[in-house]
Amino acid sequence: MPHRNLLLGHSLFWLGYMGLLLGFYSNFPSQLDLVVERLIPAIIFQVIFAYLNIGLFIPRLLQRKKYIFYFLTAIACISLLLTIRFQLVEWLFEPEMPSYSPRPRTPDRLPPSLIRRNAGPFFSMLTIWGFSTGYAFFRNWMNSQQETTELRQQQLSAELKFLKNQINPHFLFNTLNNLYTLCYMKDDRAAPMVVKLSEMMRYMLKPTPEEGLPIQDEIAFLQNFIQLQKLKTDDEREVIFEVEGITGEHAIPPLLLLNFFENSFKHGDWEKNPKGWIRASLRGNGKNGFDFRIENSVKASTPTNWEKGIGLKNAERRLALLYPESHRLSIQHLGESFLVELRIG
């Protein structure tokens, strides 16, 4: 399809160019047949030179910085094509090249000299030379831009895949470590933990379309994650995850919110403090936008000059790549709690 569009574009250009020249000479209806006889061969030779310049002279000479050789080759090619053209026209039509002047020829007006006869066609060739050279450079620039864009997209895709893969080992290590402890203690909670882990792994291995996965799948994954974390303790702890205004049109890159939940469970005091808490909410704010908020209690002794860990840096980088101009992320230490707020869309 791109080659067909390119061929159509070139054909329309040359048809428009021929129509422009015909319009220029349309003031001389008595000589229109002669104009057509000379115009069509002229355009044919201009087309030949244009594509020789685009396909051969520029890539082989000009782009290799052989400037003088390129200039001399182009001039020689123009001269040769013009010579062949005039010989061909005189052989096919008349031995004398008629003038396109609207004034009738009188005995006191001599036939055009060789210079006058070749000046117009020569400058026409120079015009085509300029157009074809400009087109070749513009096409090369467009191809370069496209290659740069494709390379950038490939790099972003590879980086996103790497960031996603960073999540999997970290998550699996923590979960398997908890599972091992439950199995070692012969805890009855080990079996349901394996089932939930299996469901979560199935989601993590799903192929991801460009627009993302349904956000309901991400919500189910996070709810399973919360249930796995709750298996760490026999005591009831306050863990709230509210979902509101989410529709089937909402999509999300997989595991985008997991790092925030992991950070709350890992660095909060929920596991050791009976009064510890984690409160999260996810609310739709448009066709495919949402507001996410998660806050957890922390020890009073937790320093406020904390540094972001690998998980939060990973999440920030993914957001920067996936939503470069359409997200807002706020991470705050509020003294007795740690708050993350994210807006997409």
For residues 242 and 281, the answer to whether their CB atoms sit within 8 Å is yes
What per-residue confidence (pLDDT) applies to 293? 94
Residue 244 has pLDDT above 70, yes or no: yes
pLDDT digits (tens, 9 = 90+) for 141-170: 887 777 666 656 655 555 556 555 555 666
Of 257, 272, 243, nearest to 171 by C-alpha is 257
Output the pLDDT for position 153: 62
Nearest of 149, 87, 145, 150 to residue 121 by alpha carbon = 87
Residue 343, pLDDT > 80, answer yes
Q: Which residue has the higher pLDDT, 216 or 309?
A: 216
Residue 235, both tokens: 């005591």
Q: How high is the pLDDT of residue 181? A: 75
pLDDT band at 295 (very low <50, low <70, confident <90, very high): very high
pLDDT, tens digit, for every residue of 51-108? 898 888 888 888 888 889 889 998 899 888 888 877 776 676 554 444 444 445 444 4
Q: 91-95, 189-193, 264-268, 313-317 — which is least confidently predicted?
A: 91-95
pLDDT number for residue 26: 56
Q: What percent of the chain has pLDDT over 70?
A: 71
> Per the structure block, which two tokens stand in for 143?
């191809």
SS (H, E, C) the chain: CHHHHHHHHHHHHHHHHHHHHHHHCCCCHHHHHHHHHHHHHHHHHHHHHHHHHHHHHHHHHHCCCCHHHHHHHHHHHHHHHHHHHHHHHHHHCCCCCCCCCCCCCCCCCCCCCHHHHHHHHHHHHHHHHHHHHHHHHHHHHHHHHHHHHHHHHHHHHHHHHHHHHHHHHHHHHHHHHHHHHHHHCCCCCHHHHHHHHHHHHHHHCCCCCCCCEEHHHHHHHHHHHHHHHHCCCCCCCEEEEEEECCCCCCEECCCCCHHHHHHHHHHCCCCCCCCCEEEEEEEECCCCCEEEEEEEECCCCCCCCCCCCHHHHHHHHHHHHHCCCCEEEEEEECCCEEEEEEEEC
Q: Taking residues 253-269, report their average pLDDT.
A: 85
pLDDT at 96: 47
Kindly report, residue by residue over 42-51, the tens digit of the pLDDT: 788 888 888 8
pLDDT at 218: 87
The residue assigned the tokens 């507001």 is: 291
Average pLDDT score, the chain: 76
CB neighbours of 8 closer than 8 A, spacing ≥ 6? none
Delimiting residues of CATH 3.30.565.10 domain(s) in the chain: 188-344
Q: Are the C-beta atoms of residues 315 and 256 closer than 8 Å to each other?
A: yes
- Label residue 280 by pLDDT band (50, 70, 90): very high
- Confidence label for 175 from pLDDT (cuts 50, 70 and 90): confident
CATH number of 188-344: 3.30.565.10
